[in-house]
Copies of this chain bind each other. A is one copy, B any other.
């Protein structure tokens, strides 16, 4: 039942017996798992011609509800990237015809990014594929265990939520 992180920690304990590396049991696993999850998402989206980073933008628009439009600033806040990155992502999605840029009627500095019908179909399809895959990954955990896991992760995330 030993995994890569257990080996990594054992090596540290041998080389640096003076420090307590036990936080790695949790935090190293979070980091490594996230890396693997991102790659898995990439595969799950491949059939839909979407990158995970593109899905992040589309999904923020989709779950905001009708009329499926947000400002670039709101998208930046939702997706945890910088404004320069968001400009680039929106450009790409516009080229693909999945979103469109509209002038903000109330603020001439502003812009609204809106999901096109094609974009909405893409994100809905990709979501189904993603969840099907994620359900597989979680199959090894009982309902109780998954709930406890989520609760602990929420506790850990709290210092970062704003």
Using a CB–CB cutoff of 8 Å, the interface residues on chain A facing chain B are 1, 3-6, 8, 11-12, 14-16, 19-27, 29-38, 40, 62-65, 80, 124, 127-128, 131, 134-135, 137-138, 140-141, 145-150, 152-161
Contact = CB atoms under 8 A, between A and B. Distances in A.
Copies in the complex: 2
Contact of A23 (B23, B24, B135, B140): B135
Given A4-B161, A157-B3, A158-B3, A31 B32 contact: no
A157 B31 contact: no
Main secondary structure of the interface of A (DSSP, over half): helix
A145 B80 CA distance: 28
A33 B156 contact: yes
A35 B155 contact: no
